């Protein structure tokens, strides 16, 4: 593709969308790098979710309207920011958007100005800036971009200079932040920001995007010994209070007049650390680590502010969970995901079994309080399910086993706890998604179960998986490596050498005249080209069916289908 001399609105939108997709691809590697300010393994996830909100807001605007696009980037990042890294990223994006607004074609000089504004905004958002973090990487990339553009550098030259300087700054973060050096990693947020410059160079100059978990030097993660040392660090950084001593992450949106926001930051500075506050015009997205949840809210009230959408996370539990998951990945154990911490009290909570980070996040977004890792060939024990049931914040619990082998195990739970547990006998992930659509946290478990069972009975589900041995079936002989399409109630209905052909034929089996909504959940082995080909085929041949595609990340099954 030819190198672009200017960044117009279409290229800007392409950069942001590409950045979102690239961070999604690298989220696991970024999570593994995450040791500062808290080693809770969520930097990549939080940056990806923040960018999801930006792209969703941007998609709702006129693709040819630059000002509307910049406003969407700014507003979407403010409202969708997640975690410490997401809030800082939102301020970077807001600085970029505010500078590019009103400039139909961005030159190298204007892009350098945008990076400078992004850096200034990021530093301004943090009460106590720490060098060796994303702040350093953004600042040094902006300085290099400014120098390149001042020397009459083109847009691509400016970007290359920014990227090269950002890479050097990222490589140097362990020299500036001892906790990174001890762990043998670079800063996770800085690595995530560098992917923005990679995405911009890809759109502007066609440079290939870095591959996750391949030659990426930053995706190696920590050894257990390194993670243990970081998670239990006792010494502070440069005399500051060790942020690992702060137990809770508190986030909320705050309605507060702009001229009182500095007082708010200082008030939070007295009761916590890792303080990031972004926004303006009376609306702020606020993040703090503290041991006093009440005080974190009272600071706002004392300034006549109004906090809303308050989210509280127990960081000690989150770090322990991340440690357990890393350990489990090495020894093949099942680990229940943290349940109930910081979540509101409800009449009925949901516990669901699933495998795959995408499915876990999707379930959490639909209100699931407890997730247990498991599925086909990976069945959790009764004890693991019971532990999660006991920790959700409700006296009544719905359990979604999502596999026929887990149903009888789940059905033992009600007799083992004082809570009232009802099992909705879901056998597949698409059934669980359908059940969660009708979930009412304030209804009783019995009422929820009745609604859920009725809903799941109307869902036709299917899955694609690969044969591991030769065998014979009603649809013919199966050879090792063949792709099988399995439909609920019908068993194996398709056997093909190609995963795409198997998926198409299974979908033809599932898509009857009654089907109105098709949900596709892609697994860890799903190929992007195959998924795109299936989507194009569905749009052409089944245009009357509404299509939803979710990245589930589940192993063994590249595609799960649900038809309602």
What's the distance, Cα to Cα, between the start and end of the chain in Å? 42
416 DSSP assignment: G
Asked whether the beta carbons of 460 and 487 are under 8 A apart, the reply is yes
Percent above pLDDT 90 for the chain: 29
Smallest CA-to-CA distance from 520 within 530, 505, 509, 535 is with: 535
* For residue 352, pLDDT beyond 70: yes
Query: How far lies 145's CA from each of 108, 120, 122, in Å?
Result: 8, 14, 17
Asked whether the beta carbons of 108 and 77 are under 8 A apart, the reply is no
| pLDDT top residue among 169 and 477 | 169
Asked whether the beta carbons of 560 and 527 are under 8 A apart, the reply is no
What is 9-222's CATH number, 1.25.40.340, 3.90.1150.10, 2.60.40.10, 3.30.230.10? 1.25.40.340
**Number of residues that this document lists for the chain:** 564
pLDDT tens, position by position, 501-532: 988 998 888 887 677 888 888 888 888 898 89
pLDDT tens, position by position, 258-310: 999 889 988 988 888 888 888 888 898 888 888 888 888 888 898 988 888 77
Average pLDDT over residues 141-153: 91
Tell me the Cα Rg of the chain: 25
- Going from N- to C-terminal start, the domains of the chain cover 9-222, 335-456, 460-563
How far apart are the C-alpha atoms of 462 and 428, rounded to whole Å?
A: 8
The pLDDT-based confidence of 80 (bands split at 50, 70, 90) is confident
* For residue 24, pLDDT beyond 70: yes
| pLDDT top residue among 415 and 168 | 168
DSSP string, 82-133: -HHHHHHHHHHHHHHHHHHTT-SSB-HHHHHHHHHHHHHHHHHHBSS--TTS
The pLDDT-based confidence of 226 (bands split at 50, 70, 90) is very low
How far apart are the C-alpha atoms of 183 and 185, rounded to whole Å?
A: 6
Average pLDDT over residues 108-117: 92
Asked whether the beta carbons of 416 and 324 are under 8 A apart, the reply is no
Asked whether the beta carbons of 286 and 254 are under 8 A apart, the reply is yes
The helix/strand count (H/E) of the chain reads as 20, 16
| pLDDT top residue among 159 and 361 | 159
The pLDDT-based confidence of 36 (bands split at 50, 70, 90) is low
How far apart are the C-alpha atoms of 205 and 221, rounded to whole Å?
A: 30
The pLDDT-based confidence of 314 (bands split at 50, 70, 90) is low
- Helix, strand, coil share (%) of the chain residues, nearest 5: 50, 20, 30
Asked whether the beta carbons of 413 and 399 are under 8 A apart, the reply is yes
Q: What pLDDT is attached to residue 291?
A: 82
β-partners of residue 348 are 396
* For residue 339, pLDDT beyond 80: no
Phi, psi angles (nearest 5°) of residue 141: -70, -35
**Locate tokens 């009888």: which residue?**
408
Smallest CA-to-CA distance from 177 within 188, 167, 193 is with: 188
- The CATH architecture of the domain made up of 335-456 is 3-Layer(aba) Sandwich (3.40)
The pTM for the full model equals: 0.53
User: 215: buried, middle or exposed (CB in 10 Å: 19+, 13-18, 0-12)?
Assistant: exposed
Where does 469-557 show beta strands of DSSP type E? Answer: 471-473, 476-478, 483-487, 491-496, 517-522, 546-551
**The domain defined by 460-563 carries CATH number 1.10.3470:** no
Q: What pLDDT is attached to residue 345?
A: 83
Q: Under 8 Å CB-to-CB from 66, ≥6 apart: which residues?
A: 8, 9, 12, 100, 101, 102, 103, 104
* CA 30 to mean position of chain CA atoms: 11
Average pLDDT, the chain: 82
**How many CA atoms does the CB half-sphere of 30 hold within 13 Å?**
26
DSSP string, 60-78: TS-TT-HHHHHHHHHHHHH
DSSP string, 215-236: T-TT-----HHHHHHHHT--S-
DSSP string, 373-386: E-BTTBPPPHHHHH
* For residue 241, pLDDT beyond 50: no
Asked whether the beta carbons of 326 and 227 are under 8 A apart, the reply is yes
Asked whether the beta carbons of 295 and 153 are under 8 A apart, the reply is no
């Amino acid at each position: 593709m030819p190198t672009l001399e200017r960044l117009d609105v279409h290229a800007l939108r392409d950069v942001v969308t590409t950045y979102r997709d690239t961070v999604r691809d690298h989220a696991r590697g970024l999570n593994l790098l995450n040791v500062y300010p808290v080693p809770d393994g969520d930097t990549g996830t939080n940056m990806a979710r923040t960018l999801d909100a930006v792209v969703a807001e941007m998609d709702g605007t006129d693709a040819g309207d630059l000002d509307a696009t910049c406003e969407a980037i700014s507003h979407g990042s403010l409202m969708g920011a997640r975690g410490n890294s997401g809030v800082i990223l939102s301020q970077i994006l807001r600085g970029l958007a505010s500078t590019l607004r009103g400039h139909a074609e961005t030159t190298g000089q204007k892009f350098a100005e945008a990076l400078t504004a992004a850096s200034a905004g990021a530093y301004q958002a943090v009460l106590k800036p720490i060098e060796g973090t994303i702040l350093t990487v953004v600042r040094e990339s902006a300085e290099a971009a400014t120098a390149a553009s001042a020397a009459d550098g083109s847009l691509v030259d400016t970007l290359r200079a920014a990227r090269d300087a950002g890479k050097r700054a990222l490589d140097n973060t362990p020299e500036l932040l001892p906790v990174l050096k001890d762990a043998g990693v670079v800063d996770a947020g800085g690595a995530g920001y560098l992917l923005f410059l990679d995405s911009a160079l890809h759109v502007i100059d066609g440079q290939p995007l870095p591959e996750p978990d391949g030659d990426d030097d930053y995706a190696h993660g920590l050894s257990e010994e390194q993670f243990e040392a970081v998670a239990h660090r006792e010494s502070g950084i440069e005399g500051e209070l060790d942020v690992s001593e702060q137990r809770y992450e508190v986030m909320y949106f705050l309605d507060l007049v702009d001229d009182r926001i500095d007082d708010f930051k200082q008030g939070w500075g007295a009761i916590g650390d890792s303080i990031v506050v972004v926004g303006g015009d009376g609306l702020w997205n606020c993040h703090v680590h503290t041991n006093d949840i009440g005080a974190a809210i009272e600071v706002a009230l004392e300034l006549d502010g109004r906090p809303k959408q308050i989210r509280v996370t127990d960081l000690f539990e989150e770090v322990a969970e991340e440690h357990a998951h890393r350990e489990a990945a090495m020894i093949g154990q099942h680990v229940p995901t943290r349940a109930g911490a910081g979540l509101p009290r409800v009449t009925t909570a949901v516990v669901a079994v699933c495998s795959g980070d995408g499915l876990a996040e999707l379930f959490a977004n639909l209100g699931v309080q407890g997730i247990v890792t498991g599925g086909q060939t990976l069945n959790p024990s009764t004890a693991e399910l019971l532990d999660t049931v006991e920790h959700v914040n409700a006296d009544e619990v719905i359990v979604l086993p999502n596999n026929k082998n887990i149903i009888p195990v789940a059905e033992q739970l009600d007799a083992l706890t004082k809570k009232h547990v009802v099992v909705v006998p879901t056998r597949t992930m698409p059934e669980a998604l359908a059940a969660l659509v009708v979930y009412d946290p304030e209804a009783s478990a019995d009422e929820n179960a009745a609604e859920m069972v009725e809903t799941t009975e109307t869902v036709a589900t299917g899955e694609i998986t690969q044969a591991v041995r030769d065998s014979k079936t009603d649809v013919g002989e199966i050879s090792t490596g063949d792709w099988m399409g399995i439909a609920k109630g019908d068993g194996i209905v398709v056997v093909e050498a190609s995963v795409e052909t198997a998926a198409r034929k299974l979908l033809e089996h599932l898509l009857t005249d009654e089907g109105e909504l098709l949900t596709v959940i892609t697994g860890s082995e799903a190929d992007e080209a195959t998924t795109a080909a299936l989507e194009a085929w569905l749009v052409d041949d089944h245009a009357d069916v509404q299509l939803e595609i979710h990245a589930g990340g589940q192993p063994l099954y590249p595609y799960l289908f649900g038809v309602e």
